[in-house]
Amino acid sequence: MQSIELAFSDWLIIAIYFIFVLGVGLYLKRYTKNENDFFLAGRRNSTWVAGLAFLSANLGALELLGMTGNTFKYGMYVAHFYWIGAIPAMLFLGIYMMPFYYSAKIKSVPGYLKLRFDEKTRVLNGIAFAIMTLLVSGINLYAMALVLHTFLGWHWEVSMWVSAATVAAYVTLSGLLSAIFTEIMQFFLIWFGLFLVAILGIVEIGSVGEIFNRVDELYRTVSYTTLWSTSSDPSLNGMVVTWGGIVLGLGFVLSFGYWTTDFLVVQRAFSAKDLRTARMTPILASFFKMAVPFIVILTGLIAIVLANDAHSGYALLKDGGQVNYDSALPLLIARYYPPGLVGLGVTALLAGFMAGQAGNISAFNTVWTYDIYQSVLNKKATEAHLLWMGRVATIVGILISVGTAYWAKSFPSIMDYMQAIFSWVNAPLFATMLLGMFVWWITPNGAFWGLLLGMGSSFTLFVAVKFDWIEAHVITLSSIASDQAANFWRAWWAWLICFGVTIIVSFFTKRRPSEELVGLVKGLTPKVSTEGVLWYRRPETYAIISVVVFVILNIYFW
């Protein structure tokens, strides 16, 4: 395709963004005096700051491009990633899990495993998380360079190195605080930069109802505009999945595994100024999470309508005969946005990529410094040395990410494994955390072996299906299934194996005395008292409102 041309005003907007993120990094340096400031943003953030950062850490550009493309491919079932695949888990984290995380005054999720179980479980999870984070960070970096090269004609190495160097500069200067600041900027840029695409699409086609009607006319036998009514039979919906796969795989294991244990997002709640604020962090984020489909799902459906209208002149790109679904959103930007607005749209994508990179690196430097370096390599490190190590880990982490990006360039199919990587690490970890927080007699050896076998089984199932050692339907329990359905089901089995092994091994191994687990396990810990707190200040009140909105959305689009 011909690249989208940028005018002077577009370049000016991109320049403003770079000046702001670097300026903010420099400005915040003076407030980053110790390790607590660098790794936990000084634990002074309000609900709004921590909540929007919590959401934005997950709202990367690759997700926006990919989910819009997935809507084109699978239809409205993609909204499950934002609703059942996020909201119950976010509320569970805020209401039930955050008191244990926050009150333990830990600096990372593996840090909880150390307190609840032992050092080896912490190190196992720390290493798995560090590898996963750098892998994802590198793949994201390559994906960013590829998108900028395809749509703007930018040299992929230049865009990769410039963005990596910028992220390295501001995260090294002020750590999590600058990462959180840029994530909030990204949140506003994404809404101001991309929501207009959906508005203009509605204006061009006529109305939201007209968009749904025209999609229904195009797909008469397979539903692309419903959420649940066609989930009993995989052949009736675009994602080729049953409600069982959605509820157990996505809604339970993958969603809870990601939102309640992935340190990338949970770290934002750890930066809150007090327990109430930490509990409110994911609850507030849940409202904005439910709103994201009004960008990605709507633009995906608009793209379906336009691509099937011979007079529209809109068609997705094709790479070697294969449809490039990720081109749906950039091509809509090129269709509607005049100079000035194009710069805003491109900056929104750039901000999404760079803030995602900063999020990964700030989580990596914390886990590396505390859960691997201090835990295994230098137990006597001073606070000043740990702060120095955090800055070194930031630069080294960025360099490894760049190396991974070069690897991804020479081995592009690795990008297909992004979803699978999460199911290797997060799905079994959720079983370990659930049992650790809610069952006092789970033992350190039970947790370690459950986690190890859970991660191993998920990876083995992935390889076995990939190389045709077993048929996919053996794990998906239906005769036909998409790659997404296989991901959901593999996560479910990994969780179940970790859950079962942890319980069985715990029956035969030594338990920790219950008095050592006070504050870490439900039943041994005093309940969080909300007595005397006005009803409208209680996290539970907002969680109930969030559940009501969630139910209404699911029924409305049933």
Amino acid at 242: T
Q: Tell me the three state secondary structure of residue 319.
A: strand
* 318, β-bridge pairs: 323
| Binders in 316-375 for another protein, by CB under 8 A | 335-341, 343-344, 347
What is the rounded CA–CA span in Å between residue 379 and residue 372? Answer: 10
Query: Is the Cβ of residue 16 or residue 551 nearer to another protein in the bound state?
Result: 16
Residue from 49, 176, 305, 361 in contact with another protein (CB under 8 A): 49
Tokens of 279: 């509990």
Which candidate, 443, 435, 429, 376, places its Cα nearest to that of 117?
Answer: 443
Query: Is the Cβ of residue 339 or residue 412 nearer to another protein in the bound state?
Result: 339
Tokens of 532: 């005397």
Tokens of 127: 């290493």
Q: Which helix (H) or strand (E) holds 166?
A: helix 156-205
Q: What is the closest distance, in whole angstroms, from the C-beta atom of residue 349 to another protein in the complex?
A: 14
Q: What is the closest distance, in whole angstroms, from the C-beta atom of residue 75 to another protein in the complex?
A: 24
Query: Is the Cβ of residue 50 or residue 521 nearer to another protein in the bound state?
Result: 50
Say which residues have a Cβ less than 8 Å from residue 83's Cβ, sequence separation at least 6.
227, 290, 293, 550, 553, 554
Helix runs in 308-382, H state only: 328-336, 341-366
Tell whether residue 170 is a contact of another protein (CB under 8 A): no
Count residues binding another protein (CB under 8 A). Answer: 35
Query: Is the Cβ of residue 123 or residue 200 nearer to another protein in the bound state?
Result: 200
Q: What is the closest distance, in whole angstroms, from the C-beta atom of residue 170 to another protein in the complex?
A: 13
Tell whether residue 188 is a contact of another protein (CB under 8 A): yes
* 237, β-bridge pairs: 223
Q: Which helix (H) or strand (E) holds 317?
A: strand 317-319
Q: What is the closest distance, in whole angstroms, from the C-beta atom of residue 179 to another protein in the complex?
A: 12
Q: Tell me the three state secondary structure of residue 421.
A: helix
Residue from 181, 368, 440, 462 in contact with another protein (CB under 8 A): 181
The site map against another protein for 5-44 (x = CB under 8 A) is --x-x--xx--xx--x---x--xx-xx----------x-x
Tokens of 378: 């230098």
What is the rounded CA–CA span in Å between residue 305 and residue 175? Answer: 44
Q: What is the closest distance, in whole angstroms, from the C-beta atom of residue 180 to another protein in the complex?
A: 8
What is the rounded CA–CA span in Å between residue 45 and residue 23? Answer: 20
Query: Is the Cβ of residue 203 or residue 548 nearer to another protein in the bound state?
Result: 203
Residue from 6, 109, 113, 185 in contact with another protein (CB under 8 A): 185
The site map against another protein for 278-317 (x = CB under 8 A) is ----------------------------------------
Query: Is the Cβ of residue 28 or residue 123 nearer to another protein in the bound state?
Result: 28
Amino acid at 228: W
Query: Is the Cβ of residue 358 or residue 485 nearer to another protein in the bound state?
Result: 358
Q: What is the closest distance, in whole angstroms, from the C-beta atom of residue 331 to another protein in the complex?
A: 11
Tokens of 49: 């700051």
Query: Is the Cβ of residue 45 or residue 137 nearer to another protein in the bound state?
Result: 45
Q: What is the closest distance, in whole angstroms, from the C-beta atom of residue 63 to another protein in the complex?
A: 21
Q: How many CB atoms lie within 10 A of CB 308?
A: 15
What is the rounded CA–CA span in Å between residue 507 and residue 516? Answer: 19
Q: Tell me the three state secondary structure of residue 78.
A: helix
Question: In a 10 Å sphere around its CB, with 0-12 CB exposed, 13-18 middle and 19+ buried, how is residue 262 labelled?
Answer: buried
Q: What is the closest distance, in whole angstroms, from the C-beta atom of residue 343 to another protein in the complex?
A: 7
Tokens of 491: 């996560």
Tell whether residue 151 is a contact of another protein (CB under 8 A): no
Q: What is the closest distance, in whole angstroms, from the C-beta atom of residue 42 to another protein in the complex?
A: 7
Query: Is the Cβ of residue 177 or residue 498 nearer to another protein in the bound state?
Result: 177
DSSP state of 248: I
Q: What is the closest distance, in whole angstroms, from the C-beta atom of residue 298 to another protein in the complex?
A: 16
Query: Is the Cβ of residue 21 or residue 435 nearer to another protein in the bound state?
Result: 21
Question: With contact defined as beta carbons under 8 Å apart, do 365 and 397 qualify?
Answer: yes
What is the rounded CA–CA span in Å between residue 145 and residue 161? Answer: 9
The site map against another protein for 196-235 (x = CB under 8 A) is x---x--xx-------------------------------
Q: Which helix (H) or strand (E) holds 318?
A: strand 317-319
Residue from 79, 90, 136, 184 in contact with another protein (CB under 8 A): 184
Q: Which residues bind another protein (CB under 8 A)?
A: 7, 9, 12-13, 16-17, 20, 24, 27-28, 30-31, 42, 44, 49, 180-181, 184-185, 188, 192, 196, 200, 203-204, 335-341, 343-344, 347
